[in-house]
Amino acid sequence: MKLNLRSILPLLAGVAVLYSACTKTGVNSKSDSSTTKVSDNVASSAIADNLAKSLAGSFGGASVNDGVTPSTNATSSKLKVQSTYSCGFYVDTSLNVVFNQGDTLKATKTGGTKYYFVCDGNKTVGYDSVDSLNTVGSGPGYSFVYNIVQKYKVRGLNTNNSNFSLDGPMKAYIDNEYTKYKTFSRVHNTYTFTNLYVHGDDNFDITSGTATFRSEGKTNGGGWDYSGTIVFLGNHKAKLTFLNKIFLIDLITGTATPA
C-alpha cells in the first residue's frame, strides 16, 4: 500500500480535462433523442477512468502493481508493524499525512489501514487488507476529495508470487471541482472483484476475472446511476456492460470505447 501523495499530481490535470470536456458534449437535464446516448458515453468514460486509477492506487490505498507485498514501509513514521515484518498483523488506525508542494498544491490524507500478511515459512504469499482513506486537497483553480475503501484478499499463485489473485470489494468516491472552468464532477463507484488473475511479469496485466459495480455520477452536464458488470480480458483490457450496452476499457489509459 502506497500513501505517497505525489502520485495524485499527474492524474489531476487529466481529470480536469476529462470533466471540463464533459460539459461541452451537449448533455443536460432535458430529455431529447440524443441525451441517452451521450450520457452513456460520458458515464462509461467516467467509470473506466475511475476503475483504472483505483486499481492502480492513484487515489490512495493498495495497488495491483504492489503484488503480494504492499510497500508498508514507504509510509509515515506513525505506521508500526505489530509482528515480524511481512508476516502477521500491520495496523495503523490514525493516519494523518500532509503534503504541500510549494504554495500550489496542498493535500491531507487521513484514515486507517489494517493488513494481515499470510506467510509460508518466512515467505509472504499474500495478504488480507482493510483500507479506509480520505484525501482532501486543493490547487490553483481546483479542489478534490478522494474517499477509498478496500477489503482485498490477495494470494500468490506461483513460487515467486509473480502471478496472484485478488478478490473483494472497493469503494472509490472521487469528487473534483474546478473554479477556473466553473465545472465539477462526482463519480461514486463501488466494485466487487471476483477471481482477478494478475500477471505481474506482464506489467500486472489482469488476464481474467469479473466484477459487479454501481456507479453514481454527476457533472454540470447531468448525472447517472448505473449498475453492471466488468469482465477482465487480458492485454490490459476489460469489457464494461450496463443497460445492455458494451464498452471496451483500456486499463492503462482509463478510456472506454463502444464495442
Quote the pLDDT of residue 8. 53
36 neighbors 28 (Cβ within 8 angstroms):
no
45 neighbors 19 (Cβ within 8 angstroms):
no
Helix and strand numbers (H, E) in the chain are 2, 13
CA angle 180, 181, 187 (to 5 degrees): 115
Reported as a single tens digit per residue, the pLDDT across 206-257 is 999 999 999 999 988 889 999 999 999 999 999 999 999 999 999 999 999 9
Kindly report whether the global pTM for this prediction surpasses the value 0.85.
no
Distance, CA of 105 to CA of 15 (rounded, Å): 16
Tell me the sheet residues that pair with 219: 185, 222
DSSP letters spanning 11-34: HHHHHHHHHHHHTTS---SS--TT
C-alpha cell at 12: 489531476
Reported as a single tens digit per residue, the pLDDT across 139-149 is 999 999 999 99
C-alpha cell at 170: 472497493
C-alpha cell at 89: 498483523
Tell me the sheet residues that pair with 132: 112, 149
Reported as a single tens digit per residue, the pLDDT across 48-69 is 999 999 999 999 889 999 999 7
| Continuous segment of H or E residues that includes residue 167 | strand 163-178
How do the domains of the chain map onto residue ranges? Answer: 5-258
For 226, residues 6+ apart whose C-beta sits below 8 A from its C-beta are 43, 47, 214, 215, 242, 243
